[in-house]
């Protein structure tokens, strides 16, 4: 009989079965499609196509298939179709999780949260259309809803990433205990959520009140406009997002150091370094957005980088809960 050296604990990662690997591949593919739908939703805003189907939902101009659609109608209608397919794929994800892991497994619970927030996402989108908080609407109600919409999106993509991540890495901590999630990581997660919400409002302002990178005094002119109490509130709020983003970036930069102090787990350390790299990329894109006056294509790239940073942060926290301390 083999004897283990005193004080040494071994953790064994059991190779996943073929069915589990298949589920993990599907879950990651689902997450990728989800992010694509989110980016498409931003393109709907950028192109002012939110009212492309009129004040009708779920139909488009009262029709299942709109006849002779305009460009705006095609964009909005395509986004609705892609969102509908996302819902169907979410049902498949949950049913597969229940059959493979059972009702009480954390993977199933994460899949359930994913589907629930897909429904909430659809209802928020429906509310925006039915209350005509789309296209050129510049009301405070739209700004509030758009910020909440983005927060809901983060919960949705976070739950989806946990579903896929836990299906890929389901190792539990050994007898030495879990590394645990440090307070800084919790604060960083909250800061990123707040950054994303203020970013959504800023992006709305950039869409409704576009500026030229060279006209009107350039960057300093935009700062002056943001401090002018007579300008629209969406213009004045532009300054808030960069301030919050700098604070959040400072927290996210420290993540790999905190992870390294908690555990030697290689997956957690890789994710921690990924958070730092994604933070640098996101800050760089943010600066470019300001200097170039937020062109539509750059807003999409900026949002994509933000989603990648968010997924890395969420999965890093999840891994720390499973990783052994030390």
| Residues annotated catalytic, as ranges | 76
User: DSSP assignment of 115-158, as one string?
Assistant: HHHHHHHHHHHHHHHHTT-STT---HHHHHHHHHHHHHHHHHHH
CA atoms of 112 and 90, how far apart (whole Å): 9
Element (H, E) at 222: helix 218-227
Residue 186 CA from chain centroid, whole number = 16
The residues that bridge with 258 in the sheet, in sequence order, are none
Task: Give the position of tokens 């939703």.
Answer: 41
Structure tokens at 124: 């928020």
Count H helices, E strands: the chain? 11, 0
Q: Which two tokens stand for residue 148?
A: 């909440």
Q: Are 236 and 229 in contact (CB under 8 A)?
A: yes
């Amino acid at each position: 009989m083999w004897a283990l050296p005193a004080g040494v604990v071994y953790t064994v990662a059991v190779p996943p079965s073929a069915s589990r690997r298949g589920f993990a591949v599907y879950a990651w593919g689902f997450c990728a499609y989800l992010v694509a739908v989110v980016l498409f939703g931003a393109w709907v805003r950028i192109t002012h196509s939110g009212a492309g189907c009129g004040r009708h939902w779920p139909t488009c101009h009262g029709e299942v298939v709109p006849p002779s659609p305009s460009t705006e109608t095609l964009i909005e209608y395509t986004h609705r179709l892609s969102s509908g397919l996302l819902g169907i794929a979410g049902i498949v994800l949950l049913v597969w999780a229940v059959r493979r892991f059972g009702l009480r497994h954390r993977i199933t619970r994460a899949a359930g949260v994913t589907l629930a927030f897909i429904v909430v996402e659809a209802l928020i989108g429906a509310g925006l259309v039915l209350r005509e908080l789309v296209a050129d609407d510049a009301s405070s109600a739209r700004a509030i809803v758009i910020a909440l919409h983005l927060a809901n999106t983060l919960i949705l993509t976070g739950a989806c990433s946990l579903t896929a991540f836990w299906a890929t890495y389901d190792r539990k901590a050994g007898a030495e205990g879990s590394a645990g999630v440090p307070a800084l990581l919790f604060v960083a997660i909250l800061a990123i959520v707040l950054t994303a919400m203020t970013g959504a409002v800023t992006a709305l302002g950039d869409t409704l009140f576009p500026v030229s990178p060279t006209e009107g005094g350039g960057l300093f002119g935009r700062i002056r406009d943001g401090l002018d109490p007579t300008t629209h509130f969406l213009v004045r709020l532009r300054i808030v997002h960069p301030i919050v983003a700098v604070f959040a970036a400072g927290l996210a930069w420290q993540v790999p150091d905190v992870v390294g102090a908690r555990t030697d787990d290689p997956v957690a350390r890789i994710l921690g370094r990924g958070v730092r790299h994604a933070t640098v990329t996101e800050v760089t894109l943010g600066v470019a957005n300001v200097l170039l006056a937020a062109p539509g294509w750059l807003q999409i790239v900026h949002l994509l980088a933000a989603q990648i940073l968010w997924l890395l942060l969420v999965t890093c926290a999840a891994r720390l809960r499973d990783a052994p301390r030390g």
